[in-house]
Every structure is written in structure tokens, then in C-alpha cells.
Amino acid sequence: MLLNVMFYLLFLLPQVGSFNSIFNYWQCLGIKSKIDFSKPYGCNVGDLPLIVWKNDKTNKLMTTINVCKHMGSKMDKGKIENGCLKCPYHGLEFSEKDTFGQTMEQDGKIFWAYNPIHKIPHKIPFFSNPLYVNNFLQIDMDCSLIDSAYNTMDIRHPEFVHNNLGFGSNLYPLNINSFKYKDRIGLKFDYLSNDLMRYINNVNHTNNFHMFVVPNFTWSKVSFNKKNLLISVNFLPLEKQKTRWFITITHDYNKDTNGQQILKILASTIISQDYVQLRNQYEENELKKAMILKHTFKDEEAIIMLKELLKNYKYPDIKDSHEIYKHNEACNFFGYKPTNL
């Protein structure tokens, strides 16, 4: 035991620096209904490759790093047998003891975190309310997570980005208020409806509320006539300039099949308009970091506060992935779960 401790102190501890804490926030890896769980499911969190499989005996979801510890095969083409994931190259079996981090299902999506700060992922308001229906969309945006975050709290772009097909309005929002909490920013405003919105919703204005929860979750609620439409997004960084948006559309009106389809098309249209702008964002680097928000327009307090809350966000690159692997190895060496170290 003493030798173990000395080995740990001398060799492992200096290498196990603090890893990128983004790994300790729940990361949405996929929409459950779109995943074929008869096979393993591969997905990256930044540069960290993960592979998820469902234990065919217990139905428990498990995740390990998608690099076989024998000769480095990826395991997307592996087989699931007796609850284990079997590497396709030489058949090494990965069981529950090989799991890396924690995996769970929440609000129709699959989440993973290394050593989760929160017990469960943030819930989508009204998702489980029987009066509401939910639909999902998924899109890869060619921009950073930071650009994605700012976009969701930005009340100025609808006039320019969403106006051509009838979304947004060139009428400036009213009653704008922003709120800062420990790990989230809220933004409240009223929108005067444009002709299309007036036609669809039969109202002249809507009450809007946006919430961004650091570092990777946002929801916005549009309310009118006591009805609500919520668009929630879980962001997953895939590359420095690529962020997967898992979108959930939740509403308590237009609930018949056609109505749901219409709201899904409306949401897709809004998102594809954002896609066109967001691929036009400058890449994240020191120059951009120094320049961004040097100018602000009026009513951009929410974005300024968001910048402050996200100031420690760093894209999880391969160096961070190596660090977290070493941390996990050190924990395994002493037979501890990461929470105990």
C-alpha cells in the first residue's frame, strides 16, 4: 500500500493536472429515438471519442473511450454480447468495470458526464407535462459553442437573419429585462408579431423568455393566449468550429399531427437561417477573443453577462482528453471512483 501511495505521489499525481471541467457537465450525446441501440453508438465530446452501448441484459447504458486498449481500434463496429461491448479487431470485451463517466437518459436524450456536477441533466420545462407534445431536431452548426450561446440570447439578429421568411420582426422588442443567476442568464422581452406570426398564432404580440444555463443548455419560451411554445437546445462541441444542436420543440397548442409538423418546419426554418449566419462567424482565437464585444448595442446586457459566465469555457481538445484519461487511470489504480479523488 505504501508503495502504491509513493508511486501515486511521485508519478501519477504530477501528471494528473486539473482536467477541462466541461467534462463534468452533462453532455447530450444523442436523441434516444434516433439511436439504434442494437449497435454501439459513437460520439465525440470535443476531441474526446466516446462509445455508448446498452447492456442487452440489464438495458443499462454504458460508455467508454472509443479507443480499444489493446491495439487502438475504434469500436463503432463492435458487437454487444452478454452485456459487454466486444472489440471488432481481436474480440476484447468491455464490461461495466470499463465504463468511463456516467451515462443516463433524460427528456428523450442520452447524456454523458465524467464526474457530473449536477445529479441529473437540466430538465426541459413542460417536457413531461401531459398537456404538451415534444418533437426533436438535430443539426451541426459550423461555429463554436460560444457563438451558439450568444446567438440564443441575441435579440438583435432576428431583424436581419430571420426576417426574409417572416420570422422575427423589424419592430424592436419591448419591455426588455435581463437577469443574472449563479450559472445562468435570463432574458425577457415582448415581440410585436409580424404578419405571418399574426396569421399563425392570431395574436399581436408574444411574451418571450430566454434562458441560458452555462455551459451548454438553453431554452426559450414564446407565450401568447396562455399557450406556450418552447425551443430548447443542448449544445455539444464536436470541433472547434462545429457544434451539434439537439433541439426539442415543446408546445401545448397545434398538437395534432399537422400542427406538430408545422411547428417543426417553423423551427427548422429559424435554425437554418441561423446556420447561414453562424457559418459566417470568425473562428475562435486570441484575436477574436480580444475584439469581441468591444462594441455593444443597447440592450445587450444579457450577452455581456453571458460572456462573463462563459469566460472559462475552453473547447475540450485532445490534450484535455488525455488529461481526463490519466485522471481516470489514477482513480482506477487506487480502486476509487473519480468522485473520491
Sites of contact with ligand FES (CB under 6 A): 68, 70-71, 73, 87, 89-92
277 contact choice in ligand FES, Fe ion, none (CB below 5 to 8 Å, kind-dependent): none
Smallest distance, Fe ion to C-beta of residue 42, A: 30
73 contact choice in Fe ion, ligand FES, none (CB below 5 to 8 Å, kind-dependent): ligand FES
136 contact choice in Fe ion, ligand FES, none (CB below 5 to 8 Å, kind-dependent): none
* C-beta closer to Fe ion: residue 146 or 331: 146
119 contacts: CB under 8 Å, gap ≥ 6? none
**Would you list the DSSP string of 108-177?**
TEEEEESS-SSSSPPPPTTTT-TT-EEEEEEEEESS-HHHHHHHHT-SSTHHHHSTTTT-S-SSPPEEEE
CA–CA distances in Å: residue 101 to residues 1, 40, 312: 26, 16, 22
Binding site for Fe ion (CB under 5 A): 274
302 contact choice in Fe ion, ligand FES, none (CB below 5 to 8 Å, kind-dependent): none
Smallest distance, ligand FES to C-beta of residue 80, A: 15
* C-beta closer to ligand FES: residue 76 or 239: 76
The residue with its CB nearest to Fe ion is 274
Among 216, 209, 167, 174, CA closest to 191: 174
Smallest distance, Fe ion to C-beta of residue 153, A: 10
Smallest distance, Fe ion to C-beta of residue 170, A: 14
Query: Could you give the CA distance from residue 55 to residue 48 in angstroms, rounded to a whole number?
Result: 22
* C-beta closer to ligand FES: residue 89 or 325: 89
* C-beta closer to ligand FES: residue 92 or 267: 92
273 contacts: CB under 8 Å, gap ≥ 6? 161, 162, 164, 165, 167
141 contact choice in Fe ion, ligand FES, none (CB below 5 to 8 Å, kind-dependent): none
Q: 61 with 105: CB under 8 angstroms?
A: yes
* C-beta closer to ligand FES: residue 20 or 66: 66
